[in-house]
Structure 1
Amino acid sequence: MTGTLYLLHAQSMVTKFHEIGFPLYILNLIGSLKIAGAITLLVPRAYPRLKEWAYAGFVFDLVGAAWCHFCVQGFAQGIKLLLPITVVAVSYLTYHRLNDPTATQHPDADGPLAV
């Protein structure tokens, strides 16, 4: 959603970027990358390395945004980004758990992990 708002130069995003002191041309870059990252995460069985980069990009974006808000606007604005960071972390852990073939095998079951 924010990627689209960035690309459309929504007034709320433009205002935030002005408050933080970022140039507006960054909106196009970050907006495009957010949309590409979201598509990558939504496509099942997409390239695993590309998914890792998408997750990393979202973490870099959100942690960087939180830091900028902490520094410029104070704690109350920066703390709001903890929820999206948590969502990305849960999504990442869930993605790996669902795609790890050894995670579903119980150690007591017959198979390569059995003793």
Structure 2
Amino acid sequence: MALNIEQEVTALRRMTPRELRVRYEEVFGEECRSNHKQWLIKRIAWRMQANEEGDLSERTRRRAMELANDADLWLKPPQGHDLAKPPARTGQLPNRHDPRLLLPGTTLSRI
């Protein structure tokens, strides 16, 4: 039987977080401690769709691992940036400050 993702998501939206955690455990095979309903719905729907239509191809999985293991991304800071010293602060706010808003550090007092 083909998966109708719209019907499944509708059914998931009617579930309580506790029921969603049980469903998560059925679909993923592991316990979930999250009570965030929208996150659970998205994860369960994604896994159900991946199980039905197939997961990433082996070629895509290898390429993702190559990108994740790219040593240049993790060893070199951006050019022109010295990470040893923090950027200098001028103490002035940028000109785009909204005059209707209070400045940081403003003390409110009742007269």
TM-score (norm 1): 0.26
Q: Quick check: which one's helix share is greater?
A: 1
TM-score (norm 2): 0.27
